[in-house]
Amino acid sequence: MIPEAYRQPCPCGSPAADNDLSPCSECWAVFLAVHVPVVAIAGALGVWLFYVQHCFEHAYWERGKEWSAQRAAIEGSSFYDLPPVLRWITCNIGYHHIHHLSARIPNYHLRAAHEALSLPGVRRFDLRGSLACARMKLWDEGLGRMVDFPRRAAQSSSRA
């Protein structure tokens, strides 16, 4: 039982239960109706940001002794050139190649580091250009690049 001094009505105005401090079912419904879509959309956008910054056609992928941390940072992650408001919302993570060069650089210094360094080989995408990354699904060892799934028509014509 909750002492009288700590009992408060639910934000919607309905009285709280004697043994519970949680909001009523109506307030939970409103909370979930707002919270779940916001989390789902933010999660989807986070996945998209991660995907665009690592899965593009000519990304750098090597194994074993051929692998280079610097080349992987510069050529294996992209510069997602976002509009200013999206740069602010995403804490400058579009400068992902800089983050991979040094994860210790704080997000508010990523842009300055990018502008101070001359890094040939960095793949730049804007919002429109990033849509092409959605096709890239598989790493083709023979071609040394990301590719789309094979088309059915191409598969059936090669069998004939």
What is the tens place of the pLDDT at every residue in 87-144? 999 989 899 899 989 989 998 999 999 999 888 888 899 999 898 888 888 888 888 8
Cβ count within 10 A of residue 61:
16
Look at residue 116 in the predicted model and tell me its pLDDT. 92
Asked if pLDDT for residue 18 goes beyond 60, the answer is no
- pLDDT tier, 21 (very low <50, low <70, confident <90, very high otherwise): low
Helices (H) and strands (E) in the chain, counts: 7, 4
Q: What is the pTM of this model?
A: 0.69
- Beta-ladder partners of 125: 80
